[in-house]
Structure 1
């Protein structure tokens, strides 16, 4: 039995039995391949059926000295635990050497939120008179106006946009489908882009229904979207650390601040648990205080003597 054989089996398990998304699947497999390299190079080519808890502990300690973030370390441990749990259930091992591994304690992680002024600055930095600029304008508007993930954005199909009812059908994590409303403004931008810009592109046959295309007429990559946003935020003079996910977080936060029910936000974000949405969407302390003072029943009761 080799590492590569078991990693391949693990990948199949995650894909078909755990229904992992491609991004999560790639991350877990990549993590275990790093462990494989360590076992081969530093542990005398020890196999996954005999590697010990002490070996794993030393591996994690080695990685922790390389100044990786606590979130990265937590994911490595999650990947390792999933791998050895799989080996245990598959009866490759009789024990689980990862059972006692402990990850770093993570605090509440809240990415930067963009204000409406920040978003307008980013849009103002786009050269909207060019075809490329019109495409990039649509990308920003869909990320912020619909709150979808970057992986969902690059997979949006034209046939999944209903301009009559103004919504986008989005295929999210675990192939779950949801319908996200389109603002009239965003819908008009998309329709103009499709008719006036995209129609002029030379399109690869496999991507005739894909909304956003690169210069080769194929679907855009996540990396390209990150680069576009980085260039625009630099040009706009915004110093915050911004990614496509920042627009999703801003979408949710702005809706919550304007009084939208958390469960509606949960549906639009595609969260399976309301707890995820509650952590994801935060309000400033003073806004929470104002909400309690203005709406809590006890603050409307007068004390009588």
Structure 2
């Protein structure tokens, strides 16, 4: 099947993450099913025309611009592979423009909210959950890990003052652990032990799936009245606090967060700096 062959190429040759491969395959199948639900998928994909792709994208007009852009990119990549592999003579998506994506400012926790979240995790009665959840929250807020990155950390990735992380596309990076992270890590390992396996585990010693880890974080957010926020907002919080209070260079922040593009990191420059605050407070109308 074409999609399976594409996924092998996408994973083995281009080194894309398993999750990315699954999402691409799902999107391609969805397009084929939308176009001709009664025909074999391979046949539909081989006969698909540019007008078909355009109609498909138009049918998704109520979806966000980011979603429509992702659909175009997925199909363009797939059909480019089809041409390269000799399955088609043309790429019906080549040169098709993507909708403009407007970047919204990230939502994040205030410094006081972040401290309240850590204090809440530290107040749990059960020692296992107290130490594990505290580490999870502290790593999130200090290091800005992605959910999948935190869930995937193995014991052999953990050092005294750093953690090796495998990010998007299998890209590796080392994230330094500050004093708060190191202390929370020591306390957790004192309860978990130093045996092999995932760093973050259940009471049964099993690694937590990203969705289970998200539930852990969500529970802590609910406890402090922040249940309306998603777990990803803690990554935004880490980046914002680093930029606002850590005075880090934008390139350093990019390295910490594991962004492939500096443009993704630049969204965090929305934070009001001390210099801007001082300028606004010195405005001649500030006290009028």
TM-score band, normalised by the shorter chain? 0.7 to 0.9
1:112 is displaced (CA, Å) by 0.7
Matched, 1:142 2:139: yes
- Give the match for residue 213 of structure 1: 201
How far, CA to CA, are the matches of 2:59 and 2:262 in structure 1? 37
How far, CA to CA, are the matches of 2:275 and 2:228 in structure 1? 24
Cα distance, 1:89–1:212 mapped onto 2, change above 3 Å: same
Task: Indicate which of 148, 155, 158 corresponds to 2:155.
Answer: 158
Q: How do 1:1-305 residues align onto structure 2 when only pairs under 5 Å count? A: 5-41=1-37, 46-64=43-61, 67-126=62-121, 127-130=123-126, 131-163=128-160, 166-196=161-191, 198-199=192-193, 208-238=196-226, 240-243=228-231, 245-258=232-245, 259-279=247-267, 281-284=268-271, 289-290=276-277
- Give the match for residue 302 of structure 1: none
Cα distance, 1:251–1:44 mapped onto 2, change above 3 Å: closer
1:265 is displaced (CA, Å) by 1.5
C-alpha distance after superposition, 1:30-73 (max 9, x if no partner): 11121122234177965211111222222222233xx4333222
1:82 is displaced (CA, Å) by 0.8
1:132 is displaced (CA, Å) by 1.9
Q: Is the 8 A contact 2:105 2:270 kept in 1?
A: no
How far, CA to CA, are the matches of 1:19 and 1:44 in structure 2? 28
1:219 is displaced (CA, Å) by 1.4
Gaps of 5+ in 1: 201-206, 294-305
C-alpha distance after superposition, 1:137-175 (max 9, x if no partner): 111111111122111111112222222xx1112222333
| SS of structure 2 residue aligned to 1:169 | strand
How far, CA to CA, are the matches of 1:44 and 1:92 in structure 2? 15
Cα distance, 1:52–1:182 mapped onto 2, change above 3 Å: same
| SS of structure 2 residue aligned to 1:48 | helix
| SS of structure 2 residue aligned to 1:141 | helix
How far, CA to CA, are the matches of 2:165 and 2:216 in structure 1? 22
Q: Is the 8 A contact 2:138 2:180 kept in 1?
A: no
1:93 is displaced (CA, Å) by 1.3
How far, CA to CA, are the matches of 2:186 and 2:276 in structure 1? 42
| SS of structure 1 residue aligned to 2:25 | helix
